[in-house]
Structure 1
């Protein structure tokens, strides 16, 4: 008997020590007199109502009788809606904070200022998973803050709507009249503040109040009427559900189990300790296979017994699911809203779903059908257009001799490349748009392109092509692709799947002869440089006439088509006007081609394009080099005249020095100048048979170098760059092709 008394005394002493150590979580077993419900809400231990009915602290609730006679549980001033032991949360009602303005008022007339909820030392934390900070209004900015403890927190949410028509739709809270934001873990209290509006003139007619509250996200559904009326504040007189996570004490399970002085409350024989997922502390759960109240001795029972001893809560009075449908579960129950309603069935807040009228349903169905038909029609149209485009590309490729060209390229193993339209578009787009156009005129445009690895090319896009050219195009490309001479611009490839084929040439960066000799920015142009360019050009034309197979007539020889590479190396360009040497009269050109001032007069009479036509045009280029005058220029009396006729007349009348460039007369000896002039006059003979061949012209220019030695190259690279208005590696486009420092392949007579 003494032993039993001693054991009882020791037990009471330990209980007293535990109560003194942690009074906030003092373990007490509820007595039979403690109420287990308050109104419709079940109050399970460790929560309780009355002395010694809870473990103390924030778990002690009050049961208040309302004016209507109903009883409701409260934690402080917050009404408790439901307590969950297994999930570790309590649903409470939280007060809405509002701010209202008068029209055109600078500061809010009414604002309840700030609201503080919770305590740092209490068991409750606002659930970061189930709650959202919600702001409703127009031009409204509200802040949620927690400046307590070591970690301060602040966030905000802005709801915007400029007029009644810009308010978001029902059920949508994405910033238009309604805004929501998440909260962090371990938030025990918060303060709400509004940013004062300086001017509400745009919205006061339909919305002069703003609202902010932390509420249960799953419960809330935005209504546009919350903006234009005070309906939101009428919900439970301005109180809405919020979910509070709760936990026991401030220790982890491991520490609580190890510390004998702590009030470890998982006292059931079949209970497990679980650390809180939101802040410090722990919860108790029944072990697997058991269910019940783990905070009470023998509270966790075998699940099988629960089925045998199950009480049908749905038959209890009052009904646990007011205005809802109750479903009995083993050891529990669930509440659902009736069909056609939604909301919180546990609290009887089920509201009818908005029903659409037959007309609205018909309109929606018609709109969906029309949208489907429109999208379907667009898809069919896109597929048709794509097929049409593919077919047209195949047709163009065939018309331009693409298949024959591919076959010959395979046989000869040529490096010539056939580009797709997309490849050339990408190449052009890789170049800065201010520098893309190298030249343009009546017959087409020349673009600068980058085909990869900074390999620049000149892409010529003609505007028109006749039927004869279509049929012969592939054959001509095959021949022109085999032209390989250091003084001829290399034709790298073409694009045949477009209506007018595009040509791809190597890119020559240092401009052309026309720019060099006619630029006002270049005063110093040595005779050696001029003659070197003339010799290179003559060699290139001689190659076309006698070494190409079959021979090729350029057809548009002029200073603008002589490009300049490094060290003033000349490269003859623009085979857009070139034609294969005709073998019979049916192949003679029927349209005038070439450029005014350079045209062979015999070609104008007979329409027969021959090698001697290129010789005549080259003679005009020689005169440009000697005189620095254009092929068609204005004399001092203002009359327009031909350089060729003026030079011939001046030579006959022994007044040649009037036309020659001053630097030429000062640098070159009279004999050399005379020989160059004589060569030019021979090239300009009216009768083609009296003109020398391009091979003869090239030989004479080479002989002049042997018998009249002059420094034919500038002394260094700096001198080369000094001849250009801008550095040679700068690619610019001023909009005037006579100042472009790149390839200029098209300069027409009209200019």
Structure 2
């Protein structure tokens, strides 16, 4: 189906087991991946099979990976030693792990070890202060090698015992002082005096390590110093900004996950909520912790009961107190008479409770449901009104519907009423006030989906265009708001275009639908109070009524753009195959992003091939179409029905427009207003060619009747004929 989204974590789940086996047993989970296209940008890995067993490397294969910890957001690597020439008394700078860039940072938990004699190593933070380069000292240590009493050379007895660094022949220091953080480190080694010849070396060695450095005498007097030692890197899923407000992020895809700003609010990661563990970057990746099965971490010395995200610990019968503490439950001391009295009284109370339990339970459920509705209403109502522009602030009150109304309209959201689903929810058919309506309900209860629904309400409440689906109202009494909009009875453009058999939508209707979508996008980009970018234009989101008039739908991914701006940086959303490549790689959303998606739609209308189509050589539909267009051979991919029905010059002009809309560089693409004008001019040219119009209309009418009979939709006229008066009205609405 064209609604399928080729999401990275879906591909990664298929490739993960094989990648882990090939990488020597290292567990690989999203956002990391070895296979192309299945990792989050910046988290690609390379599996080098020239080693036995194969080794895993970051990026293009320069830093070896030893372990990946998703919950802690760390990667354990093999860090190469840094070699400093020890001749002379000057300081030498070395950038720490130059080959590792964003999203990776040197973890503050690492330590610096210096293997040398009579030298000092300084860890400094590179930065700027008052437009001057500054190097703040973070930590330092000195390694000395005392001489014998006669002032001679250093001997093996002077070095000291093997084991952890003692400061003699080897020193060790933490990466940074408490309370400081930085991304740019530098290492400086200062020789305090000439090293003794007996050491047989002229180099100082500096290591980045994530555990205590184990020193041996061979390291100083031999040549057995290690080439690499394990170190640890922190990583951030977004290393350029703090968490969005409120604290949620599109990368946190699992329920029971949240966004956590770290690194002085300059970056963020995702974490599972308290009481949950797992991978917050994939759907359903965070799962409940069974605290009762982890007695060493979650102590319980009584009866343990696991709850979602929590647990309770009760004292055993006959005891009371705090069961989470050892010996925290104390035996009850009561005489026989008191026990009998309590037993009789307790039995009576239990009997009364048992008889009244159904009534009490029903009342409690009703009260709980009422409180939940009020809570959700306040929460969603506030978010909704905050998104609406001030002059339309009352629209939220006029459009609000109750959950009871919508449950009645859909038979309590019965499965038989389900008519489809977009990228942001399931759609039900219902009857409300004697009017057939469509009701959208979210599939997944996560913060991002709530924001998408609120976003769609805020946008559609201000849109009034004949080619944009009309929002009738919304319900705010559920955790995720429900949307109610006009019911479009004839399915999507995808359903009508991609049918079995040689006869699909007539060419006249295809070009008319393209013009109507162009009008809608022009309206959204330039005629609304605040420009709106749709972000997900595709055949699945173009609905058709009984007369095949198009309606643009599914605004869950849409974004407002402030009037003074031409672009906005945002988390990438959309459908692979339709998505603007420049937006995908840079995250910069502009009006030209919708133009690219519209160009893909034009290609789909011309060729009757889905955007996920691939040639035998692996070329995508857009690249293959552009290649044929450059060679003047675009007719090879055009739908035979289009070639039969359409005018050759008109088809070539539409093909040229599609190729221009899908250019890689967004600046080379036209605006949607230019696209609309081009399509309008094509219609005018066809009308002026009066000697061929009658025959073409006749043929189109016959083809339309044939298509409607084949699809079982009757013989209603499909192509609306526009008058010159309507063109004049259009010019008044959209002055050029």
Q: What TM-score do you get using the length of structure 2 for normalisation?
A: 0.45
Which protein is bigger by CA-based radius of gyration? 1
